[in-house]
Structure 1
Amino acid sequence: MAQIGQIIVDVPTMQTNEPYSYAIPAALAHQVQVGMRVTVPFGRGHRVVSGVVVGLSDDTNFDGDLKPIQSVLDLAPVLDDELQQLAKWLADTTYAFRITCIQTMLPNLLKAQTERQIQPTEPLSADEMQAYFPQGAPRDFDTAKLDEATLAGLLRLQRAGKVEVVYQVTSKAAAKTTTGIKPALPVAKLQEIQATVAKKAPKQAELLGYLQTMAPDKLVAQSQVAHAADVSTAVIATAADKGWVVKQPLEVYRDPFHQPVKPTQPLRLNAEQQTAVDAITSAVDEQRTENFLVEGVTGSGKTEVYLQSMAVALQQHRTALMLVPEIALTPQMVNRVKARFGHQVAVLHSGLSKGEQYDEWRRIDRGEATVVVGARSAVFAPVRNLGIIIMDEEHESSYKQDENPRYHARDVALWRGRYNHCPVVLGSATPSLETRARAAKGLYTRLVLAKRVNDHPLPAVHIVDMREEVKQHSEGDFSQPLLTAIQERLDRQEQMVLMLNRRGYSSFVMCRDCGFVLKCPNCDISLTLHMDTHTMKCHYCGHEEAIPHICPNCHSRKIRYYGTGTQKVETALQKEFPTARILRMDVDSTRRKGAHEKLLRQFGQHQADILLGTQMIAKGLDFPNVTLVGVLNADTALGLPDFRASERTFQLLTQVSGRAGRAEKPGEVFIQTFNPEHYAIELAQQQDYERFFVTEMHMRHQGNYPPYYFAVQLTASHEEEAKAAKAMYQIVGQLQKGLSDNAIILGPTPKAIARVKRKYYYQVVIKYKREPQLKAVLEKIRQAAQIPARHGLTITIDPEPMNFM
């Protein structure tokens, strides 16, 4: 009986989580493994699609003739058992399809069009070389062009560890190579030649002497040989011409660490830090699944707690995974981890090139990197035998993915913690209400770091009432107290961080005569002025058009810029302080690869006095010379129709305040606001998280919001508004039939921004405590949504949405 493979196929229409059965050809019998990618014929025509092997069996329920697997795309599984199970769980909990979840886990290079080459990892016999590498190694590995016997033989060699497949993307990101050198002759012959050339060609003699010290079959980079033998590349070229050395391409890993890092030693811990480390490492020692909340004020030394806890896991020959919320924070955190653990560290985030991502993924997959640091998607790193998982700034909304699969990295981290029997450490100065509520219930172990390291005081926080400022000094971006504080810091040659909750030059363009606001033709949102490109831009769909000088509606010339953007503030700052050196850090100034790191390095080296930026500068940055933080518009988020608006404002203000006075010099913070009495702003001034937690929980309880209720958001979108609305009303009918009377169904309503990228959006929000039928009802809605999707109607399901906008 032929072996049968259970394959999840990748077809864009009518997807399913159920695998299809395919026959495994005799030549591939017992070679195909679970977790490999394969190509299979699909449907009635000659269509070939890719898929992933999720199971192997000897029988099937299918009565007809099974189609055979056409080819394998890998010689070894790209998904181990843990990631296979994780994909299944993820599909189940996020209402996504399994193939989508699997693709989310793999690096881009394994999703893109790739060319594969196969090469020996150790010397093969003459017969093996003749059979499998007749033209020499490496060779292209195109399974469609290989006969069954060759493919089966290569699979056997791979299982014996004698060959490996190297993926090269068909675009620019190929495997990086340099010229490698190895001796072509035995040591005795090299000595003989050296004796004859010693007098007339001393440099050649030096090279011949060095070649005798090299391993006979190990390639060494040409640059390394030239340096060690103290010869030029021309001398090596002559040696190659004379047949003394062999030149071959040598693959080298792309290194995402572009700057050398100075090694650090573990710091002495204070009593609170020691208590935290002891509790976490006890769970590491016992291989115990336990979730910790490290709630520490900004500057309390949470990072040192993480590093010393990770060190214990590594001592036990286990691995460590550390998540940070965004690329902007990655350089500083990666450098700290790299300084402590050196070459064991791999980094994964979207700021890397495809080639760098793939090289780092391979280092992790091969077990060469035992510490992984990265943003949200790094939670899927193929790291095995996890000893500890750490999630820094766990409250950050960027840990939630806003497209399929709509997972939260925290949930995935907790799943992997359970699977690997290891602790998960969630760290924050301002934990999310859900996490803090779980700690209050005893589901998480709460560890508090209430004091800054070295007992440095928290910065003094001043609230500036902008209503009074506007009366006294007319409208502007800076209050008088903040201007005075900036001048004092410039005089003392200290640095400062100024935060604005918006990018661009100004928020919108409006006509003073008729009130016309220039909007995006594709989205229901005003366009933002960008002075660097002299255009109006939409921050949702990317639409651009020229800046108007005459109102398109009433043709008046009284069209003006309103609101404040980072570029406008930069211009105003430069005018106010002509000698100040200003760095602007927002989405526009950090588009280029490595821009985050470059800007932070410049600021760290005191090449600028003021770091002006959006929310990306609020968290994680640690510069000892920063003594002033200014928040120019604390109210931006408070005006949003979002139940988390107060929580986000409190977190942001507390986090950005923590950037000041982290070393010997005391810090000061100025928060400019038109809502000085709002509890989120008042409690952020006092940095009183516990009182904020109690106040906000009371508000959530009154409004039946998370964490007292679970929530699911369903959204319908279509280019015709009526079709989106009709679909949503039909879905509400299904929900009312299938759910109990205790479920709260809100909507359908148009979304806060009702039109984006020429599509209209309608939503329904379900709030519930226990709904046994909810999963079945939502699954039915998801399956039924695949047919109208072909005609432009998209239905999405978002479990535990981060906002309802």
Structure 2
Amino acid sequence: MYASIIVSVSASDVNKVFEYKIPDGLTDFIAVGHRVLVPFGPRQIQGYVIDIKNEVGYDPSKIKPITRALDVKPVLTAELIKLAKDLADYYVTSYISVIETILPAALKSKSKKMLSLSEDSTEQTEVIWHGMNLPPKIEVKTLSARQLAELKPLIRRGEVEEETIITQHTKKKYARALKPTFIPRGDFGRAYKQLELLDFIEQYDEHVLQSEVIDNGYTQGTINELVKKGYVEKVDVVSGRDPYKSRVFEEDLPKELNAEQQNAYDKISHSVDHDLAETFLLHGVTGSGKTEVYLQVIQKVLDKERTALMLVPEIALTPQMVNRFKARFGDDVAVLHSGLSHGEKYDEWLKVKNQQAGVVVGARSSVFAPVENLGVIIIDEEHETTYKQQDRPMYHATEVAKYRSKYYNCPVILGSATPSLESFARSERGVYTRLELNHRAVTKTLPETKTVDMSEEHRKGNTSIVSEALREAINLRIGRGEQTVLLLNRRGYANFQICQSCGHVPNCPNCDISLTYHKMQHSLLCHYCGYEAGVTRECDNCDSDDVTFRGTGTEKVEETLRDMFNVDIVRMDNDTTSRKGMHEKLLNTFENEKIPILLGTQMIAKGLDYPNVTLVGVLNADTMLNLPDFRANEKTYQLLTQVAGRAGRHELSGEVIFQTYNPEHYAIELAESNDYAAFYEKELAFRRLARYSPYYFHVLFTVSHEQVKKCLEATTHIHKELVDSVTDKAIIVGPSPSPIERINRQYRFQILLKYKSEPNLIDVLHKINEYYNERYKKDKLSLKIDVDPKYIM
């Protein structure tokens, strides 16, 4: 028997399948999806079994054997292996990079797979275990093929269990427990509390956590007395890392659906009942009850004994979404996102792998969760660019979801109040089935929205970032005890420092970008490479002391608002949410302590649902309009509409104020009137004229090197390769410098390929990619190929 194996080496010349012989003792043990240790040159490295065959096409005597298995159960399913291969081909990346993206980080750390007797082991099993002279716990890779073969039926029956101990980032978590010995009782005399505690502990045949005993009112002294008398033993037991263990969730019962929601539910249910791989676009205004539709569809899927996958775009959205899902489905929910520790994420992943959770909720990478028998995949706020990975492998979660949907014959639901133009265009052509929710589920009307021209404000003498209309509206909410959400999509204190004598602006030495002033750290920071410089009161260029700061970020606005309104403020941006758990902590503080103002970047614009928020203000609606990207207008419209939807979601009516210097721009005007259809038509006309998506597909080539000349030579070569390989219907834009020409000491040049149909394109892309992988080895010239990019920057 032979195994086809992908080895854990990222080099391009190793991006292929290698054949290894399965040792005789492991032929019944090794399966597709197993991690194994194999000889590779002079080293022993990790690999993944992707196929098993009876013969190979060359001399078997030259094939090396697998050294040992690293797992008892395969970590990859056949479906995920096929998915990894398809994504590697489509997104022009290595097979191993996709596999390692699919698996949790903990498995890529140093880890040990341990076997031990389970609580269900029989006396016969214990005889076999001890007859092999095995210790209480034994590492899988130290077992011989004969021993593994002998233990395999015991593992299948659950009499021997497998445990992963992570030695790099985290270890299995243990907790102190108390185990009754059940020895005959002596005379307790007047020690009534000890007797009462012993009765309590003996209710548990195995053990009870010491923390639970103490929570029930017993003291450490009473526990120690029982241990001293031999009635109780202290033991350490494995305790799974559950980030929500201490939380209490109030039960949330299904709500009655309105006519629009019921229609959407019925159509999706038909797809679930008939095992159809159908993609739905659930287009509903903010507050229209999309989440309730999701929840009831998931309940239907669970009733059919299938599983559900729910994706959200931002980690900031996860706490509220988790609350709703835990309240509805309890412990049947597993949560996967980057805000968890490696250990927590691994334990949640294992919960899914072992089919102990029917519902998975998480961010982008959760689309690879090892769920089986999928019944539905839901992608909330489907328009968000965070669903597109910006590093290799540069996959898009929606495309992965559609792959998995076809494999399991289940529907995909794409939900949004502001769908991407591509998704809406597909629904217009019938590729997706569009379902409309045009009315809010609770309140009858959307919030009243108005636009303030900040140029006019300045002409009136108001130079503050807060217009008079917004100031009055905030004061009104403070007086009523209601809450306000303010958006400014720019963190830091000031955009840049400038010398008013010579005009010098300190730039990052590594990137072509000015440094942002952060007052709390009293430093100038680069938001691209992380470079940090101290703040000086003299100009580096002319030694003048006439140095000041220009522009406004969230840090400065927070200071301004405190002075203006004299109230508490919660600020949410990358600076305040970098530590674990801070998203949820800040949002809980805002809700539970009734803080008057929540100020933040775009992370607060989506998904948040608070009944007391009646005012939303956008301090600078123009932030994204001037980006050198063809999606700038679309992103502006989406952001404004989404944040406006945070106001008046329950009984109280809402108000929205946009502050802008471009009040007549159609993205802002149509966001004010919440007219998606008009925006779609207007933007589509621009896209058609400029020959962009959804009329054309795109591939972005970005070359980077420390020397400009090398970048220009490489992009010129790529341009020639494309001209020689694609049809004359394709459009090649470039080569040209990237909008930000230098990042982290690397100059960047790019080419944009636009096309409608290029049958040989994948082969062309792989050929170019392989050539520049070799170039990278020689002179560190890097090429990044982004298929279906979300940013042209």
TM range (shorter): over 0.9
Residue 721, structure 1, aligned to residue 719, structure 2: no
Query: How far 1:156 sits from its partner (Å)?
Result: 4.7
Q: Is the 8 A contact 1:751 1:763 kept in 2?
A: yes
User: Hey, what does 2:259 align to over in structure 1?
Assistant: 271
Q: Deviations over 1:623-678 (max 9, x none)?
A: 11111111011111110110000000000000011111112221111111111111
Q: Is the 8 A contact 1:332 1:621 kept in 2?
A: yes
User: Hey, what does 2:351 align to over in structure 1?
Assistant: 363
Query: How far 1:772 sits from its partner (Å)?
Result: 1.3
User: Hey, what does 1:689 align to over in structure 2?
Assistant: 676
Distance across 2 between alignment mates of 1:346 and 1:15: 38
Residue 679, structure 1, aligned to residue 675, structure 2: no
User: Hey, what does 1:127 align to over in structure 2?
Assistant: 127
Compared CA separation, residues 126 and 684, structure 1 to 2 (3 A):
closer
The counterpart of 2:49, out of the listed 49, 53, 68, is 53
Q: Is the 8 A contact 2:12 2:94 kept in 1?
A: no
User: Hey, what does 1:485 align to over in structure 2?
Assistant: 473
Query: How far 1:180 sits from its partner (Å)?
Result: 3.0
Q: Which amino acid aligns with 2:466?
A: F
Query: How far 1:484 sits from its partner (Å)?
Result: 1.4
Q: Which amino acid aligns with 1:106?
A: L
User: Hey, what does 1:197 align to over in structure 2?
Assistant: 187
Residue 164, structure 1, aligned to residue 161, structure 2: yes
User: Hey, what does 1:738 align to over in structure 2?
Assistant: 725
The counterpart of 2:6, out of the listed 8, 27, 30, is 8
Bigger shift: 764-773 or 508-517? 508-517
Query: How far 1:13 sits from its partner (Å)?
Result: 2.1
Residue 352, structure 1, aligned to residue 340, structure 2: yes
Q: Which amino acid aligns with 1:197?
A: D
Q: Is the 8 A contact 1:181 1:246 kept in 2?
A: yes
TM-score normalised by L of structure 2: 0.96
Q: Is the 8 A contact 1:393 1:428 kept in 2?
A: yes
Q: Is the 8 A contact 2:3 2:51 kept in 1?
A: yes
Residue 778, structure 1, aligned to residue 771, structure 2: no
User: Hey, what does 1:292 align to over in structure 2?
Assistant: 280
Distance across 2 between alignment mates of 1:298 and 1:743: 39
Q: Is the 8 A contact 2:29 2:148 kept in 1?
A: no
- Please, which runs of 5 or more residues in structure 1 have no aligned partner? none
Q: Which amino acid aligns with 1:343?
A: D
Query: How far 1:447 sits from its partner (Å)?
Result: 0.8
Compared CA separation, residues 522 and 267, structure 1 to 2 (3 A):
same
The counterpart of 1:214, out of the listed 204, 210, 218, is 204
TM-score normalised by L of structure 1: 0.95
1:211-290 alignment to 2 at 5 Å? Answer: 213-215=203-205, 218-224=206-212, 231-257=218-244, 258-290=246-278
Query: How far 1:456 sits from its partner (Å)?
Result: 2.5
Q: Deviations over 1:529-584 (max 9, x none)?
A: 00010000000110001113111112222222111100111111111112x21111
User: Hey, what does 1:180 align to over in structure 2?
Assistant: 177
User: Hey, what does 1:34 align to over in structure 2?
Assistant: 32
Q: Deviations over 1:35-80 (max 9, x none)?
A: 011111112xx21211100011121123351111112111110011
Distance across 1 between alignment mates of 2:347 and 2:132: 26
Query: How far 1:225 sits from its partner (Å)?
Result: 5.2
Query: How far 1:742 sits from its partner (Å)?
Result: 0.8
Query: How far 1:157 sits from its partner (Å)?
Result: 3.4
Residue 625, structure 1, aligned to residue 612, structure 2: yes
- The SS at the match of 2:528 is coil
Q: Which amino acid aligns with 1:14?
A: S
User: Hey, what does 1:706 align to over in structure 2?
Assistant: 693
Q: Deviations over 1:698-744 (max 9, x none)?
A: 11000100010000011111122211221111111111111111110
Distance across 2 between alignment mates of 1:212 and 1:165: 28
Compared CA separation, residues 133 and 559, structure 1 to 2 (3 A):
farther
1:532-611 alignment to 2 at 5 Å? Answer: 532-578=520-566, 580-611=567-598
- The SS at the match of 2:322 is helix
Distance across 2 between alignment mates of 1:659 and 1:358: 33
Query: How far 1:101 sits from its partner (Å)?
Result: 0.5
Residue 381, structure 1, aligned to residue 369, structure 2: yes
Query: How far 1:181 sits from its partner (Å)?
Result: 3.4
User: Hey, what does 2:649 align to over in structure 1?
Assistant: 662
User: Hey, what does 1:85 align to over in structure 2?
Assistant: 82
Compared CA separation, residues 246 and 117, structure 1 to 2 (3 A):
farther
Query: How far 1:421 sits from its partner (Å)?
Result: 1.1
Distance across 2 between alignment mates of 1:199 and 1:116: 49
Distance across 2 between alignment mates of 1:184 and 1:75: 33
- The SS at the match of 1:410 is helix
Q: Is the 8 A contact 1:456 1:663 kept in 2?
A: no
Query: How far 1:277 sits from its partner (Å)?
Result: 1.0
Q: Is the 8 A contact 2:443 2:650 kept in 1?
A: no
Q: Is the 8 A contact 1:294 1:448 kept in 2?
A: yes
Compared CA separation, residues 241 and 449, structure 1 to 2 (3 A):
same
Identity over aligned residues, as a percent? 48
Distance across 2 between alignment mates of 1:4 and 1:593: 45
- The SS at the match of 2:325 is helix
Compared CA separation, residues 777 and 134, structure 1 to 2 (3 A):
closer
Query: How far 1:16 sits from its partner (Å)?
Result: 4.2
Query: How far 1:233 sits from its partner (Å)?
Result: 4.2
Residue 789, structure 1, aligned to residue 788, structure 2: no
Compared CA separation, residues 133 and 481, structure 1 to 2 (3 A):
farther
Q: Is the 8 A contact 1:744 1:768 kept in 2?
A: yes
Compared CA separation, residues 475 and 226, structure 1 to 2 (3 A):
closer
Q: CA RMSD in A?
A: 1.8
Q: Deviations over 1:225-252 (max 9, x none)?
A: 5667x75444444444554444432112
Q: Which amino acid aligns with 1:163?
A: V
Distance across 1 between alignment mates of 2:192 and 2:483: 57
Distance across 1 between alignment mates of 2:413 and 2:383: 13
Q: Is the 8 A contact 1:582 1:609 kept in 2?
A: yes
Q: Deviations over 1:321-351 (max 9, x none)?
A: 1000010111011101111111111100000
- The SS at the match of 2:236 is strand
Q: Is the 8 A contact 2:699 2:754 kept in 1?
A: yes
Compared CA separation, residues 615 and 209, structure 1 to 2 (3 A):
closer
1:382-421 alignment to 2 at 5 Å? Answer: 382-421=370-409
Q: Is the 8 A contact 1:95 1:782 kept in 2?
A: yes
Query: How far 1:159 sits from its partner (Å)?
Result: 3.6
Distance across 1 between alignment mates of 2:40 and 2:168: 28
Distance across 1 between alignment mates of 2:211 and 2:399: 47
Distance across 2 between alignment mates of 1:718 and 1:159: 53
- Please, which runs of 5 or more residues in structure 2 have no aligned partner? none
Distance across 1 between alignment mates of 2:764 and 2:129: 58
User: Hey, what does 2:137 align to over in structure 1?
Assistant: 138
Q: Which amino acid aligns with 1:377?
A: S
Query: How far 1:204 sits from its partner (Å)?
Result: 4.3
Q: Is the 8 A contact 1:348 1:373 kept in 2?
A: yes
Distance across 2 between alignment mates of 1:181 and 1:83: 42
Query: How far 1:483 sits from its partner (Å)?
Result: 1.2
Compared CA separation, residues 15 and 256, structure 1 to 2 (3 A):
farther
